[in-house]
């Protein structure tokens, strides 16, 4: 019996696998690590007094559905090394624990291996230092994921003292020629706002400032305006800081006040660096193995029609997406596969 292979157990791949399994298809989900969820598995819920639609609960539900589905076989710690066969009858060679497993009779393949975070790259960033008061957004995400385990608010950030002020620097690792990422990563504005909300919830007197180039108005952020942000005590400054230095009491941020045309400084206790999404280092190998093309930045797009080859791309392997958009794309690709299967089986008629 033919089956469908999904390479990558992040949001897009797991979503596609679940949708295909629900439709009655046998699916093999291949994940290179020992858990599903990809980069998002370490993120924490941003709900405070109300849900602010970070969509992490949807991710948890999808992972559980994949793990419990009788239609989905999950190969953990599997690395795809080779592809043979032809459209409608592919075979993948997967290395696991030093041995090779053949995944055969594949009618379709979905490639969904996601992105890499800016902090995982070796190029570094000019704002980053070894000071423990300068952290990546992913580190703050880990703290938020663990916040339910702490009984006292002062324990949440695991710092020496409760911060009186925090600044977020947006577009760190994207919107930059120097960082080889002129594109917008599409996630930083939303998660910085949500994380600032959580911090303000636990530390009401905290002064929060977000430096930005422009706001990516998408998803939940469409319903937020500057008046509401001001009421919440979150200050937005339209520029990217020029320099960050240490002081005796904290950190000093040098920036240009574009409205006044003057240089100003802001002293803070904590600095959070946003992390742009970058193409996975494996994309070059995927491009050769699956006959795909790399764009200017290293994301993938198909050279040939995906319905003809039976090999589809899903999620942020094609470019930056937030959680909601990635889930949506995983479903969309699954429906395209189902439609193509129906067309092949019915001789041209499809109900999907």
What does residue 279 show for φ and ψ, rounded to 5 degrees?
Answer: -65, 145
Give 96's Cβ-side CA count (13 Å radius).
Answer: 16
Confirm whether 3-114+280-346 and 117-276 share one CATH topology. yes
CATH superfamily ID and name for 117-276: FAD/NAD(P)-binding domain (3.50.50.60)
Mean pLDDT score, 321-343: 92
Query: Which CATH architecture does the domain made up of 3-114+280-346 adopt?
Result: 3-Layer(bba) Sandwich (3.50)
Q: Give me the mean pLDDT over the 48-68 stretch.
A: 83
Which of 52, 32, 35 is CA-nearest to residue 44?
Answer: 52
106-134 pLDDT, tens digit per residue, is 999 999 999 998 877 755 454 455 677 88
Query: Radius of gyration of the chain from Cα atoms?
Result: 22
pTM given for the model: 0.89
136 beta partners = 273
**84-109 pLDDT, tens digit each:** 999 999 999 999 999 999 999 999 99
What average pLDDT does this structure show over 6-35? 97
Is 70 exceeded by the pLDDT of residue 299?
Answer: yes
Question: Would you list the domain boundaries of the chain?
Answer: 3-114+280-346, 117-276
The whole-angstrom separation of Cα 133 and Cα 54 is 25
Per-residue pLDDT reduced to its tens digit, 320-329: 998 889 999 9
Q: Which residue has the tokens 């008629």?
A: 349
pLDDT per position as a tens digit, 141-183 = 877 776 655 545 555 666 667 789 999 998 887 877 776 788 8
| Residue 255 C-alpha from the chain's centroid | 29
């Amino acid at each position: 019996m033919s089956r469908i292979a999904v390479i990558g157990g992040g949001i897009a791949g797991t979503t596609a696998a679940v949708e295909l399994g629900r439709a009655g298809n046998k699916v093999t989900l291949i994940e290179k690590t020992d858990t599903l969820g990809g980069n998002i598995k370490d993120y924490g819920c941003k709900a405070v007094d109300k849900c602010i639609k970070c969509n992490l609960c949807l991710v948890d539900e999808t992972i559980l559905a994949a793990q419990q589905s009788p239609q989905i076989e999950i190969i953990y710690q599997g690395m795809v090394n080779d592809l043979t066969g032809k459209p409608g009858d592919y075979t993948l060679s997967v290395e696991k624990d030093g041995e090779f497993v053949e995944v055969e009779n594949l009618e379709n393949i979905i490639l969904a291996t996601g992105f890499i975070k800016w902090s995982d790259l070796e190029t570094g960033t000019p704002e980053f230092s070894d000071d423990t008061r300068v952290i990546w957004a992913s580190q703050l995400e880990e703290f938020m994921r663990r916040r339910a385990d702490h009984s006292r608010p002062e324990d949440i950030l695991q710092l020496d003292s409760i911060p009186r002020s925090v600044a977020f620097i947006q577009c760190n690792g994207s919107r930059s020629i120097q960082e080889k990422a002129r594109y917008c990563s599409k996630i930083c504005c939303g998660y910085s706002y949500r994380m600032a909300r959580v911090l303000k919830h636990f530390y009401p007197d905290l002064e929060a400032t977000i430096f930005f180039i422009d706001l990516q108005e998408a998803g939940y952020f469409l319903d937020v305006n500057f008046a509401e942000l001001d009421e919440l005590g979150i200050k937005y400054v339209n520029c990217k800081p020029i320099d960050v230095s240490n002081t005796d009491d904290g950190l000093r941020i040098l920036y240009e006040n574009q409205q006044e045309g003057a240089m100003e400084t802001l002293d803070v206790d904590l600095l959070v660096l946003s992390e742009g999404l970058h193409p996975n280092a494996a994309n070059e190998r995927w491009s050769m193995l699956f006959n795909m093309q790399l764009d200017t930045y290293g994301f993938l797009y198909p050279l040939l029609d995906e319905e003809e080859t039976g090999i589809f791309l899903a999620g942020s392997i094609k470019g930056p997406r937030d959680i909601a958009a990635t889930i949506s794309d995983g479903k969309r690709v699954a429906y395209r596969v189902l439609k193509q299967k129906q067309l092949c089986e019915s001789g041209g008629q499809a109900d999907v």
